[in-house]
Amino acid sequence: MYDPRIEKLAKLLIHYSLGIKKGQKLLIQSTMQAEPLLEAAYKEAILAGAHITNLVGLPNAQEIFYKHASDEQLEYISPLNELVTEEFDAMLNIMAGYNTKALSGVDPQRIAKSRRAGARLQTRFMERAAAGELHWTLTAYPTNAAAQDANMSLTEYADFVFGAGLLDHDDPVAEWRRIEAEQEKICSFLNTKSELRIVSKDTDISMSIAGRKWINCSGHENFPDGEVFTGPVEDSVNGHIRFSFPGIYAGKEIEDIRLEFKEGKVVQASARKGEELLHALLETDAGACYVGEVAVGTNFGIQKFTRNMLFDEKIGGTVHLALGSGYPESGAKNQSGIHWDMLCDMRQEGKIYADSELIYQDGKFLRKE
């Protein structure tokens, strides 16, 4: 059945999120499950005058690769990936997996080996993005697999996905611009602060944010969106944190993650389930034990945990930390082959202090400017 929200989303992604201009080189990648959105985005980009390359993935390619590739193949970097990272102007990645648990039986060390090999390219990607040379957007198309993860029917999940993007509004772009203006007040306020302390259940963690820039996320790189983030000073993170929701990596869940930091580095890590994967990720490379991002979710239209971090990290009333690579536009310097977000609920007993002043309580900012 035709859904008019798909065409509305395609227009928003091409014109608002990516800002495609005539003559730009654009990569669009997904699976055939997202065919309606792929075609709508392709048409919109053609009308905008872009030069488009489409990459459509095989249903079981990742599972086959990680289970059967040799070490040489795991560490191989495709010249096509090099070309895209260095030469393309824009990338649109539409998440539409066939099986979110496809990598559940894969040795986490094999994934870590491949991530280590790709660290240089990931760093280059982030450098070009920070310089404004490469615009990228990650979005999601509703599939049965994702709906099952979220404990919804496909119809319910589609309504959730499109609703989170404000596509039910007559003018969703105007809504996102309103959100951008509101979040800019928060970023401007936090840019004047030097120290951040996050307190919640089994959590008391502090870090320096001096000289770092808070980034206003309002639908350009991620869609849907709704967060503000920065990269803490790399050796400044101290304390302990317990993540309220499972950490998701390559379709695997790690439950009840607890980390302790000293001078920026994870010195103790445990999990009730998936601890082997947790330690494998921490051992990916030297940068995997450091925080690349600290963020506050601001999208109160997203309140349900869906096991898809594109949505979950935006939940209004949460914070998240990402281990691994940081975004250079925030001033972050940490480099790694991973960037792994983990989510902490702040809606009950949660507090954030900036330079010892209470600025956030029970999931909401007390001060925005």
Beta bridge partners of 87: none
Q: Please tell me whether residue 229 adopts helix, strand or coil conformation.
A: strand
Task: Decide if pLDDT at 301 tops 80.
Answer: yes
pLDDT at 1 exceeding the cut of 70: no
Which residue's entry shows tokens 């995997």?
288
Q: For residue 45, how far is the Cα from the chain centroid? A: 24
Q: Are residues 147 and 197 in the same domain?
A: no
Nearest to 197 by CA among 232, 234, 227, 246: 232
Residue span of the structural domain in which 59 resides: 4-164
- At residue 221, the pLDDT reads 96
Distance of CA 198 to the CA centre of its chain: 20
Same domain? 160 vs 183: no
Band of pLDDT at residue 95, cut at 50, 70 and 90? very high
- Chain segment 43-65, per-residue pLDDT in tens: 999 999 999 999 999 999 999 99
E strand or H helix that includes residue 23: none
Across 201-205, average pLDDT: 97
Which pLDDT band, with edges at 50, 70 and 90, does 252 fall under? confident
Query: Are 47 and 142 part of one and the same domain?
Result: yes
Mean pLDDT of all residues in 180-195 = 97
Give the Cα separation of 369 and 190 in Å (integer).
8
Identify the pLDDT of residue 250: 82
Do 98 and 229 lie in one domain? The reply is: no
Contact 153, 291 (CB under 8 A): no
Q: What is the mean pLDDT of residues 87-101?
A: 96
Q: At which residue do the structure tokens 């082997």 appear?
A: 276
Query: Do 142 and 259 share a structural domain?
Result: no
Do 68 and 185 lie in one domain? The reply is no
What CATH code is carried by the domain that includes residue 155?
3.40.1830.10
Q: Give, rounded to a whole angstrom, the gap between the first and last alpha carbons of the chain.
A: 46
Note whether residue 172 is domain-resident: no
Q: Are 51 and 89 in contact (CB under 8 A)?
A: no
297 within 8 A of 318, measured Cβ to Cβ: yes
Same domain, 65 and 114: yes
pLDDT class for 368, splitting at 50, 70, 90? Answer: low
| pLDDT in the model for residue 195 | 98
Whether residue 85 lies inside any domain: the answer is yes
Tell me whether residue 131 is in a domain. Answer: yes
283, pLDDT greater than 80: yes
The fraction of the chain above a pLDDT of 70, given in percent, is 99
| Cβ atoms 326, 231 nearer than 8 A | yes
Q: Are residues 61 and 209 in the same domain?
A: no
Contacts of 218 (CB under 8 A, 6+ apart): 176, 177, 179, 180, 183, 225, 226
| Distance, CA of 98 to CA of 125 (rounded, Å) | 26
Predicted TM-score (pTM) of this structure: 0.93
Q: How far apart are CA 302 and CA 164, in angstroms?
A: 6
**Is the domain of 158 the same as that of 62?**
yes
> What value does the mean pLDDT take over residues 313-328?
97
Are 141 and 260 within one domain? no
What per-residue confidence (pLDDT) applies to 369? 66
Please check whether residue 87 lies inside any domain of the structure. yes
Residue 276 placed within a domain = yes
Q: How many domains does the chain have?
A: 2
- CB contact burial 44-63 (16+ within 10 A = b; e otherwise): bbeebebebeeeeeeeeebb
CA–CA gap between residue 224 and residue 221 (Å, rounded): 9
Domain shared by 9 and 73, yes or no? yes
Q: In sequence order, what DSSP letters do the residues of 65-106 get, joined into one string?
A: HHHH--HHHHT---HHHHHHHHH-SEEEEEE--S-TTTTTTS
Pair 160, 185 in one domain: no
Q: What is the mean pLDDT of residues 176-186?
A: 97
User: What is the pLDDT averaged over residues 12-19?
Assistant: 98
Domain boundary among 164, 197, 217: 164
pLDDT for residue 367 is more than 70: no
> Which among 101, 132, 164 is the end of a domain?
164
Mean of the per-residue pLDDT values for the chain? 96
133 occurs within a structural domain = yes
Query: What separation in angstroms does the CA of 301 have from each of 160, 216, 226, 283, 305?
Result: 9, 17, 9, 36, 12
Is the preceding peptide bond at 224 cis, omega within 30 degrees of 0? yes
- Residue 251, pLDDT score: 81
User: 84 pLDDT exceeds 80?
Assistant: yes
Q: Give domain status of residue 16, yes or no.
A: yes
* Residue range 306-315: mean pLDDT, rounded: 96
Residue 171 falls within a domain, yes or no? no
- Is residue 335 pLDDT above 70, yes or no? yes
Q: What's the pLDDT score for residue 2?
A: 72
Alpha-carbon gap, residue 122 to 134, rounded angstroms:
13
Residue 315 has pLDDT above 90, yes or no: yes
